[in-house]
Amino acid sequence: MEIQGIDHVEFYVGDAQQSAFYLCTALGFRLCGETEPTDHRSLLLRQGGIQVVLTSALSEHHPAAEFVRRHGDGVAVIALETASAAAAYDTAVAAGAAPLAEPAVYEHEGARVVTAEVAAFGDVVHRFVERHCGPEEFLPGVMNVLAPDPEPGDELLSTVDHFAVCLPAGGLRPTVEHYQRVFGFRQIFEEFIEVGDQAMDSKVVQSPSGQVTLTLIEPVTSKRPGQIDEFLARHNGAGVQHMALLTDDIVSTVRTLTERGVTFLRTPGSYYDLLEERLGEPEVRIEELRETNVLVDQDHHGQLFQIFTRSMHVRRTYFMEVIDRHGARTFGSGNIKALYEAVEREKVTS
């Protein structure tokens, strides 16, 4: 199975228009398409190489209605770009994936797109997408593409770097094995994290192309329940905790997004006081990191810089990450712990 990358990410939300307004005004996405209202309404947003679809149910029979009732707004579909959706579907099902939607063809005025769907984890779906159309098209005959915005966007964010997925205790190993067997992913990283009397275990799986990465996390039940347990309870099961978006200048991006109203988690000053002793001199000035609350880590290949937004959701489940890679290919020894501690600080200050 040849998975080339992330084609798009579909969120099921209570109000697609409201969600689109935030993503466009605060994060710089552009509204590029919409469907005709039927039993649902979907909006297509784009920035750089990122495609986001926001879908709201207009009927209780559309799957978005039950998803939002159970989980609140969140990632429902991670669509995978592939050379043959039918072949990918057949291979996945033969390897044990639960089939959800057989290959379907969408055609209009010479453009052709093929999709098929299998279960991923929890209620999240993987949609295989095969495209034979120009970049302006999305789903021919279904998604009406809007005229391009005459004003150029600032394109602060370029692509989806990874997803972080919370799993119930006992779900980590079988999920890793599932991605290895069904999708041909390989495990590239693992880390056991302890923060005080809480703990979690994590493993990272990645497609052979290196373009699709999932950080899989489960709580450790022998320790006191923590934020992973809270996510699972509020979300009613496994799901995407956050999506990380790549930028090539994190300090400038964070400053711009902050001016637009995005709220990021804060980092104590002591973190930066000890930073050079822990990692050496970072490639971004420490004072700029301190000013913007950006965290830094490194692996054998280079450094990475990251920051997490506060959750905008009523359930305090899904949030976003902005990440900037200076050669780093994985996550370093402190990446997941930094996230865990950052969320713990938010709970204390909010």
Binding residues for Fe cation: 162, 242, 321
Distance (Å, rounded) from C-alpha 183 to C-alpha 3?
8
Helix (H) or strand (E) holding 232: helix 227-235
Distance (Å, rounded) from C-alpha 168 to C-alpha 206?
20
Question: CA–CA distance from 230 to each of 14, 145, 321, 344 (Å)?
Answer: 22, 39, 19, 12
Q: Residue length, the chain?
A: 350
The full DSSP string for 280-314 is -S-SS-HHHHHHHT-EEEE-SS-EEEEEEBPP-ST
Cβ proximity of 215 and 165 under 8 Å: yes
Tell me, what DSSP letter sits at residue 3? E
SS (H, E, C) 8-54: EEEEECCCHHHHHHHHHHHHCCEEEEEECCCCEEEEEEEECCEEEEE
Cβ proximity of 16 and 62 under 8 Å: no
Cβ proximity of 55 and 42 under 8 Å: yes
SS3 of 176, please?
A: helix
The binding site consists of: 162, 242, 321
Distance (Å, rounded) from C-alpha 106 to C-alpha 113?
5
User: Position of tokens 């290959």?
Assistant: 103
**Dihedral, 68, 72, 75, 77 alpha carbons, nearest 10:** -10
Count H helices and E strands in the chain, helices first: 10, 17
Distance (Å, rounded) from C-alpha 296 to C-alpha 283?
9
